[in-house]
Amino acid sequence: MPKIQILRIPHAHVMAEFMCPDCGKRFFHENETTLEIQKNVHKKFCTKTPGDAKSYMHRGLNENAPIDAERATDNSGNPILKR
């Protein structure tokens, strides 16, 4: 994995930068510790597809199936969430 690069922009703050070699997404932050955290989280969820905008935090608009089928209903079989 490439090392973090330091960007020096005139009249601005110095920012550390990281570009994912698998998907090409660019991360930058003033705080190198925060950038390391972002990098570690991204490494776990990277789609490995360049330019892919998939999010693990959001679902598609047409997706109605419950994420957790075991807890989608209460003990008597009634749906817990309204759709």
Does 67 reside within a domain?
A: no
DSSP 23: T
Question: Would 55 be classed as within a structural domain?
Answer: no
The string of pLDDT tens digits covering residues 51-77 is 776 665 566 677 777 667 777 788 888
CA distance 10 to 7: 10
E strand segments, the chain = 5-7, 15-19, 26-29
Model pTM score: 0.51
Please write the tens of the pLDDT for every residue from 26-40: 999 989 999 999 999
Report if residue 14 sits inside a domain: yes
In-domain check, residue 37? yes
Residue 19 token pair: 């570009």
Q: Alpha carbon 37 to chain centroid distance? A: 11
Nearest alpha-carbon partner for 18 in 10, 78, 34, 9: 34
In a domain, 18, yes or no: yes
Kindly state whether residue 27 falls inside one of the protein's structural domains.
yes
Count of structural domains within the chain = 1
